[in-house]
Structure 1
Amino acid sequence: MEIRRIKYSDLGGFVALWDGVFKEGKYLSSPPPPAGGIGPVLQKVAAHKIPQFVAIVENELVASAEAFPGDMCGLKEKNSARIGVVGAHVKQSLRGQGIGRTLLKMLIADSKRYGYSKLILEVYESNKPAKKLYESLGFIYNGFGRDVVFPSGLKVRSERMSLLLG
């Protein structure tokens, strides 16, 4: 397995991973945008070394973790550029093998280098393995987020978590 920064050439694999997790019907509420919308974001990530890492197994992108600047994600908080908004995806057949943990540890370390003061995320309350992983890495619970209805009709509530970076 290779762990590295995402590259523009990973665009197809990244979209495929996102789409695969979305199609599971319980972790993502929307499909990936068209590749044409993601491409410019990946170019910006590469140019500015925004924290985003991928795991590659047998030439397939199987996991991704990113921390995008809050102002890039529409946060309106003061100093939102210093807040990293975390997202993570792992291919279903490879979950529970430590890939997500490895990516997130790298992401946290690189987020400090990038200058974030805090990382935030939302995780669905039904996603107990992810919540346990985030807690083990020091993320704390900050209250409930939004209610989501998946295309399948499944209703879940998100929980907000954060990690202060020293």
Structure 2
Amino acid sequence: MAKSIRSKSKRRMRVIKRERLAPRVLKRLQATVTNLDCSKTNMEFDSSGKFFKCGSQPECRICKGEFWLRCIKFIYIFSEDELLQMFTFLQTKMEIDSASLNLKTMKKSDGSYPIWLSQRKIKKKKKIERKIKQNAKRMKGRRKC
């Protein structure tokens, strides 16, 4: 940890900002969780609005604010079945056509790049590809001699 006065004051300011924005974040989280329509987990908020429960068992309670920030703390709160259910829900893959995307070159099957790939990454991939081709040509030329 940094111990300078500047970093300490910045840490203090971040804590104050986090406290100030906490109600907004919790409201957004509540809206997100209530909009989840998943057959794997059934999440509902308590009447207090401070906790939401998974399924129908009352002992499975999660603090809304810390659920996203510190998921590892909840190993001791969940039973094994509920924990497994939660992790499978969180680890579900996004539905994409992974067969059409080459992970090495990051190109689609038609040779174009996906729209979510930044231009900087595209330039980097092109540069690496060009270097590989040049090395292959150079090695091919040496073999003939």
What TM-score, normalized to structure 1?
0.23
Q: Which has the higher contact order (CA 8 A, sep 6+)?
A: 1
Q: Return the structure number with greater helix share.
A: 2
**Structure with bigger gyration radius:** 2
What TM-score, normalized to structure 2?
0.25
Q: Return the structure number with greater strand share.
A: 1
